[in-house]
Structure 1
Amino acid sequence: MRVLLNGTVLVVLWNHLWFHDLANRSTLAASEDGSGLTQVIFLGLGAAMAAALWRLGPARLRPLATWPLLLCAGWLGTTVLLSIEPSLSIRRAVLMAIALMLSAGVLIVARSPRQFAMTLAGSALVILVASYLAVALVPDLAIHSSFDLNSDPSHPGLWRGIFPHKNEAGAAMVILIICGLYVRATASRFLGWAIVLLAVGFLVASGSKTALLVTPVILAVTALCRVFRGNLARTSLLLGPVVAFSVVSIGSVVVPAIQEKLGALMTDATFTGRNEIWEFAIDNIFIRPFRGWGYGAFWMTERTMYAGSEQLTWVNTANHAHNAYLDTALTMGFPGLAFTLVAFMLMPLRDLQATAGGRDLDPTTLLFVRLWFLGLVSASFETVLYNGNNATCCMFMMAVFGLRLRTAYRPAA
């Protein structure tokens, strides 16, 4: 029952809506109503996980009730009530809360690291086998084509498998590579390497630039964290790339000198048009800098897509800001961004130091560090925070909760 529940949750968190038809014109419309199927799936799984946690004892979640996390949740709730679309924000916040419960619940329900690893392996193989079969059997729904609406000229031919977009497929493959390495170290070398190789092959075929960029960075930095065990060294290794990516991304919009230097070094200093989205997001952040626009109440809404302005461009139809830190400030204001950085960047680092300061990282802690670092680095180019529909967000939150729980419970052998 534990494996079945956790396996279902992991597959849903990685991708719960399979086979998107990108040629369907309905994808161009505002999505304020949300997906009825998504709501049914999350409500059903949320009820099942709540029942499991109640049976095991809700007190096991008590270590997660830290002041930074509570302040972050409290401010999110405040901005939901102050949202420009309160009903929309409340509905999406409920789904996010369920996703957070599922991410934490998986760690409580798993009986041991080995069972957790085997559940990850089974769930990963479901995603990988389904994606490869989709490419082979229904390529029109699994490979980008020139018939996709809002398609980039470089997208046709890139694989997306059962995912709605090649970037989401790439992000999921990075997660599966990390999970495969954990399976190899904890449960089965054969299964672990099989998952890694299959995920690497699909990642290359997806052509996801962000995923291809961050994968070697994540593996290299976390490997160095096993060599340099001092708290200062690990802090520099983990936060240094995050700061660097933020300077390169947002700095290229805010500071002209950085943009000039990037233009001399890179063939695409606009990061595939992201700079226009970042400029649009920054302009709107300063319209409501304190309380923000409200959780999930800005992108893909009628106010943004069909506003009565003469300056409407393709940016108005974007799904998100392609930067989690900008999106957090956009929806929760600067106070929400500050609470987020403390709760999800500084506190997990402190938990890591409390758990493994001066010592090598055991496989489970290393898994959490890799997933947490993946979220922080990816946040500079994709919206991976406060997005319950995003696989990276859910695994990032699982990693944050896992590092916190490691400080409260002794690691199992």
Structure 2
Amino acid sequence: MSSASGLASRIGRTRAAAAGARDLPDWMRVLLNGTVLVVLWNHLWFHDLANRALLLASEDGSVLTQATFVALGAAMAAALWRLGTERLRPLATWPLLLCAGWLGITVLLSVEPGLSIRRAVLMAIAAMLAAGVPVVARSPRQFALTLGAGALVILAASYCAVALVPNLAVHSAFDVNSDPSHPGLWRGIFPHKNEAGAAMVILVVVGLYVAAAGSRLLGWTVVLLAAGFLVASGSKTALLVLPVLLAVTALCRVFRGNLGRTLLLLGPVVAFSVVSIGSVLVPAIRERLGAVMTDATFTGRNEIWEFAIDNIFIRPFRGWGYGAFWMTERTMYAGSEQLTWVNTANHAHNAYLDTALTMGFPGLALTLVAFMLMPLRDLQAVAGRRDLDPATMLFVRLWFLGLVSASFETVLYNGNNATCCMFMMAVFGLRLRTRNRLARG
């Protein structure tokens, strides 16, 4: 018996030593995740909007962005390899794999294959980073405190920028694409007030999670600072989405049935899509909106949407290729007799249109299944008819934010966009929570 006990003890020590050899110290987890979060929220600080080079086609991309993402991608890959890549196995679902496969096919069939491949690689790295953060975090509390610390870095830098270098942090009449309503609106370290507003909505959501799972003081500090900056940014879409987001997700605590939560979460997404794209495709909707809204054109977005829809039907099956349409020489300079300001737009201001534009209608259909229907199924598997715990609520809010924002901004398949990165983290997080013990904390 003593011999058997000794053998069992040695086996236990051996297994513990093996587990420890594959572990990462807390400081390394926090440093990696904190850096990744700050970069995903905004990786290029202090844009000079008076620089006329912003008016030119931008097919080369930013060398700094590419270097940053490659370096972080390598660090995250090493961490995941150390911890065990099997932790990511729940993400290998057929909808996600088919979606990634079709994206790869359209990249190869792109009108600019080289450009699409380069941008798709950076998008893949961003997706890996988004999936890796909740896996690398040792516990929900560590995850929450890391989120809170990263949020404070962004907020402190943005407020300091407004105070110390307002020419780089506040919109002015000297911006090359200046809008009469923009001067005086805050953008902080972000390239535009809309991106600042979207990031502040994310930080409000993050602050609520931090208050629930980590530190009330830190969490509510983040919420108040982010809400104040959001108001100063004047971002209409963000100011509209935030109350809808908080109201709908709060009602998910009241209506716990699968049908009730499905209607709550998908109803507003359908409504926003009808209001946005419907205003272009259906004259009756456009007339009704014009009767109740002071700006039924959504600040000129309808012209961009019409332009995007026209080009979708030129290549409806395979699309134009990932990242190979907007801000390219073909779009900006071809057919000079018909050029308008729309040709210089950097995206369609609608993620669903941009998905169809770059990946065709098959890509759009796969995207809706993989990123809308499957996360809803995962939510039902995780929560059932129970209340939503703080981590699940965080992922639901970020997922819902992405779906709703997609009707007015391009937040899908855009690794440079904070909402896209947090949306992917939410989709992956919900999936991981259905299968992975560590993700449940």
Task: State if a TM-score over 0.5 links the two structures.
Answer: yes
Q: How does 1:331-410 map to 2 (within 5 A)?
A: 331-410=358-437
Paired with 2:309 and 2:339, the residues of 1 have a C-alpha distance of: 16
Correspondence for 1:136: 163
RMSD: 0.6
The offset of 1:369, in angstroms, is 0.1
Correspondence for 1:287: 314
Q: Could you say what secondary structure the match of 2:337 adopts?
A: coil
Is the 8 Å Cα contact of residues 433 and 440 (structure 2) preserved in structure 1? no
Paired with 1:412 and 1:372, the residues of 2 have a C-alpha distance of: 17
Select the residue among 216, 229, 235 that pairs with 1:202. Answer: 229
Q: Could you say what secondary structure the match of 1:322 adopts?
A: coil
Q: How does 1:99-114 map to 2 (within 5 A)?
A: 99-114=126-141
Correspondence for 2:9: none
How many residues get paired? Answer: 413
Query: Does 2:137 match 1:96?
Result: no
Query: Does 2:234 match 1:212?
Result: no
Is the 8 Å Cα contact of residues 90 and 436 (structure 2) preserved in structure 1? no
Q: How does 1:42-121 map to 2 (within 5 A)?
A: 42-121=69-148
Paired with 1:73 and 1:310, the residues of 2 have a C-alpha distance of: 38
Paired with 1:339 and 1:151, the residues of 2 have a C-alpha distance of: 37
Is the 8 Å Cα contact of residues 327 and 346 (structure 2) preserved in structure 1? yes
Paired with 1:51 and 1:388, the residues of 2 have a C-alpha distance of: 20
The offset of 1:151, in angstroms, is 1.0
Paired with 2:114 and 2:307, the residues of 1 have a C-alpha distance of: 25
The offset of 1:412, in angstroms, is 4.3
Which residue identity lines up with residue 49 of structure 1 in the other structure? M
The offset of 1:136, in angstroms, is 0.2
Select the residue among 240, 248, 252 that pairs with 2:275. Answer: 248
The offset of 1:165, in angstroms, is 0.2
Is the 8 Å Cα contact of residues 256 and 384 (structure 2) preserved in structure 1? yes
The offset of 1:357, in angstroms, is 1.2
Query: Does 2:232 match 1:237?
Result: no
Correspondence for 2:8: none
Query: Does 2:45 match 1:31?
Result: no
Q: Could you say what secondary structure the match of 1:310 adopts?
A: helix
Listed one character per residue, the Cα deviations across residues 47-73 of structure 1 (whole Å, up to 9, x for unaligned) are: 000000000001110000000000000
Query: Does 2:300 match 1:310?
Result: no
TM-score by length of 2: 0.93
Q: Could you say what secondary structure the match of 1:41 adopts?
A: helix
Listed one character per residue, the Cα deviations across residues 72-105 of structure 1 (whole Å, up to 9, x for unaligned) are: 0000000000000000000000000000000001
Listed one character per residue, the Cα deviations across residues 362-385 of structure 1 (whole Å, up to 9, x for unaligned) are: 000000000000000000000000
Query: Does 2:49 match 1:22?
Result: yes
Is the 8 Å Cα contact of residues 414 and 420 (structure 2) preserved in structure 1? yes
Correspondence for 1:189: 216
The offset of 1:314, in angstroms, is 0.2
The offset of 1:409, in angstroms, is 2.4
The offset of 1:308, in angstroms, is 2.4
Correspondence for 2:14: none
Is the 8 Å Cα contact of residues 87 and 436 (structure 2) preserved in structure 1? no
Paired with 1:363 and 1:302, the residues of 2 have a C-alpha distance of: 46
Correspondence for 1:257: 284
* Pair 70,412 (structure 1): closer, same or farther in 2 beyond 3 Å: closer
Correspondence for 2:249: 222
Which residue identity lines up with residue 100 of structure 1 in the other structure? A
Paired with 2:332 and 2:338, the residues of 1 have a C-alpha distance of: 11
Unaligned runs of 5+ in 2: 1-27
* Pair 246,412 (structure 1): closer, same or farther in 2 beyond 3 Å: closer
Correspondence for 1:178: 205
Correspondence for 2:13: none
Paired with 2:52 and 2:397, the residues of 1 have a C-alpha distance of: 38
Greater shift in the superposed pair: 282-291 or 305-314: 305-314
Listed one character per residue, the Cα deviations across residues 17-72 of structure 1 (whole Å, up to 9, x for unaligned) are: 00000000111110100000000000000000000000000111000000000000
Paired with 2:382 and 2:335, the residues of 1 have a C-alpha distance of: 53
Which residue identity lines up with residue 73 of structure 1 in the other structure? A
Query: Does 2:170 match 1:162?
Result: no
Paired with 1:412 and 1:259, the residues of 2 have a C-alpha distance of: 45
Which residue identity lines up with residue 48 of structure 2 in the other structure? D
Which residue identity lines up with residue 221 of structure 1 in the other structure? V
Paired with 1:163 and 1:409, the residues of 2 have a C-alpha distance of: 35
Q: Could you say what secondary structure the match of 2:338 adopts?
A: coil
Which residue identity lines up with residue 69 of structure 1 in the other structure? L
Listed one character per residue, the Cα deviations across residues 127-161 of structure 1 (whole Å, up to 9, x for unaligned) are: 00000000000000000000001111100000000
